[in-house]
Amino acid sequence: MQILFILIPVSLLLGAGGLVAFLWSLKTRQYDDPKGDAERILSDEWDDRPKPPPMDQNKDP
């Protein structure tokens, strides 16, 4: 039974981690252009690191 005191917080933390990741991806507008993002990985430019987003990328309209 003692194991529950470890496992429950762990499961909650993992879930919260997933939630935070989801909210972050939503905030950074990663669902704005799914088609474009799928194509962009084929682009030769900036292959060693991702292209820096334009200035207005993170701001809310």
Partner 1 sequence: MADLSVDRHYDARLSACPACDAAPLAGRIAASAMTGDMILSLPGVHCAVCITDVERALLAEEGVRSARVNLTLRRVSIDAPGRRAEEFIPVLEAIGYEAHELDGAALTSNAADRQGRDILMRIGVAGFAMMNIMILSVAVWSGAEGATRDMFHWISAVIAVPTVIFAGQPFFVSAWRSLRVGRLGMDVPISLALILATAISLFETLQSGHHAYFDAAVMLCFFLLVGRYLDHRSRAIARSAAEELTALEVPRVVLLRDGAEQVVNVAELRPGDVIRIRPGARVAADGEVVNGMSEIDRSLLTGESLPVQAGPGAVLSAGEVNLTGPLDLRVTAAGRDSSLSRLADLVANAEASRGRYASLAERAARAYSPVVHLMALISLLGWLQATGDWRVSLNVAAAVLIITCPCALGLAVPAVVTAASGRLFRRGLLIKEGTALERLAEVDTVVFDKTGTLTMGQPEWVRGDALPDDLRPVALSIAAGSGHPLSRALVQALQADGVAPAAILKIKELPGYGVQAEWQGRNVRLGRADWIGADAPALAAGPVTVLAVEGRDPVPLHFTDALRPGAAECVATLRGQGRRVLMLSGDAKTAVAHAAAALGIDEFRAGMTPQQKEAEIAALTSGGAKVLMVGDGLNDTAALARAHVSISPASGLDAARVASDIVLMGQDLAPVADALTLSGSARRRIKQNFAISIAYNIVAVPFAVAGFATPLMAALAMSLSSITVTLNALRLR
When computed from its CA atoms, the radius of gyration of the chain, rounded to whole angstroms, is: 18
Q: Is 60 in the site for partner 1 (CB under 8 A)?
A: yes
* Cα maximum dimension of the chain: 55
Q: Is 49 in the site for partner 1 (CB under 8 A)?
A: no
Interface residue with partner 1 among 35, 47, 49, 50 (CB under 8 A) is 35
User: What is the per-residue DSSP string for 8-35?
Assistant: HHHHHHHHHHHHHHHHHHHHTTTTS-HH
Interface ranges with partner 1 (CB under 8 A): 1, 4, 8, 11-12, 15-16, 18-19, 22-23, 26, 31-36, 39-45, 53-57, 60-61
